[in-house]
Amino acid sequence: MTDVTDRGSRTPLGYGTRVLLTLAAAVVLFVGVWFARDIVGPAAIAAVVVIIANPVRRPLERRGWPNWLATTAVIAVAYAILLVIAGLVVFAFAQFIAMLPDYADELQATAGSVAAWIESLGLGEEAADATSSALDPATIVPIVTALGESVLGVATAFFFVLAYAIFMAADAARVSRSGLMFGSAAADAIGRRYFTGVRRYYIVNATFGAIVAVIDGLLLWALGIPVPIVWAILAFVTNFVPNIGFVLGLIPPAVLALVVGGWQLALIVVLIYSVVNVVLQVLVQPKFVSDAVSLSLTLTFVSVVFWTLVIGPVGAILSIPLTLLVRALVLEPDDRAMTLRRLSGESLESPVAPPPARG
């Protein structure tokens, strides 16, 4: 009798109160993630790479490979993916460092020309000095040096990524041997959709990134832009950053074109990048990405900014998988979250009312 009275005396929380409590809990959670970003970032990279590599396991096990050997193959594929990407980035960075001294004089001359042009527009000496210092080799070299020093931190994080990949691949093998991965058929369906979406997203991005990189690199080579392979690699890597990756990949070759060929060559580079990237990354690629992950363009852009703020630059590359993870954990298990799932871009079948019964 006491239990019934206690249950009946409870006052349910109002909708507004529940929303405020949920938002407060989310803020606390993401602040905690921000403090642990040096741990969360490498772990998230390792998880994504293992998700991509894990399908290698099934055909090997069907052919009679022992479980430990199939897991080793998954780890090998994951390591190969990581090493190829790391090798491309290190190679491009080394080429860029080696190129800088050869164009120091041109950078200084361009900085002076740009400063004089800005002063002629009446924008004042402060704007001219700021623009001139941005192109000054004395400013660029310390920035590059700082980037080089940060490579040590990246190398440390890369070691943890490699270690995480081993443990996650072993856990994936253990989970795959059990009947239900997440305890229920509904949870398994959500998990499989998430894993499939992540794999499709990165396959689509890698494919289009490679196409864009080859086209941009060949066109820059034809125009005589120095070290076109560096900018091709940059175009490939920045293609994994939704929406703003195109701009990030455009700025360095455009500035270099301004230095070596004047504003006319810089304008040509901007136009070429715009045509190639608008056609492939704006008109064609979003269709394939939408089919793979079903996220709205607005949420995609916001997720880049948000996850970059939470876990740093790596959050820009992992923004889509992390956003999909939040949707899979928070929205998909809740039947009352249909509206939020629609707003996120997910295509849901609307229930069709049965026809009225005839007398």
52 lies in the same domain as 159? yes
Domain boundary among 178, 199, 229: 178
Q: What is the CA radius of gyration of the chain?
A: 25
What pTM did the predictor assign? 0.75
CA distance 219 to 269: 9
What integer pLDDT is reported at residue 221 of this predicted model?
A: 93
The reply to whether 163 and 186 lie within a common domain is: no
Distance CA 93, CA 83 (A): 15
Residue span of the structural domain in which 291 resides: 180-345
| pLDDT on residue 12 | 65
Q: Measured between alpha carbons, how far is 307 from 300 in angstroms, rounded to an integer? A: 11
Question: Does residue 289 share a domain with residue 189?
Answer: yes
Instruction: Confirm if 330 and 336 have CB atoms less than 8 A apart.
Output: no
Total domains present in the chain: 2
Do 187 and 220 fall within a single domain?
yes
292 and 331 share a domain?
A: yes
Q: Do the domain assignments include residue 6?
A: no
Do 43 and 184 have their domain in common?
no
70: which residues sit within 8 A by CB, 6+ positions away?
Answer: 56, 57, 60, 61, 173
Contacts of residue 253, Cβ cutoff 8 Å, sequence gap at least 6 = 216, 220, 225, 228, 231, 234, 269, 273
Given pLDDT bands bounded at 50, 70 and 90, which one contains residue 5?
Answer: very low
Residue 358's region, left for phi above 0, alpha for psi from -120 to 50, else beta, is beta
Please report, as a single letter, which amino acid is at residue 97.
Answer: I
Looking at the structure, do residues 312 and 193 belong to the same domain, yes or no?
Answer: yes
- Is-contact 229 217, C-beta < 8 A? yes
Judge contact between 190 and 333, C-beta under 8 A: yes
User: 37-51, 52-66, 173-187, 227-241: which range is least confident on average?
Assistant: 173-187
Same domain, 164 and 186: no
pLDDT digits (tens, 9 = 90+) for 205-230: 888 889 989 999 999 999 988 889 99
Residues 148 and 258 in one domain: no
Burial state string for 258-292 with b = 16 or more CB within 10 A and e = fewer than 16 = bbbbeeebbebbbebbeebbeebbeeebbebbbeb
56 and 190: one domain? no
117, 145, 178 - which closes a domain: 178
**Top mean-pLDDT range of 22-26, 95-99, 134-138, 224-228:** 224-228
Tell whether 188 and 318 lie within a shared domain: yes
Domain end call among 178, 211, 228: 178
Tokens of 183: 């305890």
pLDDT score for 290: 64
Closest by CA to 80, choosing from 57, 38, 58, 49, is: 49
The per-residue pLDDT for range 131-141, each reduced to its tens digit, is 555 555 555 55
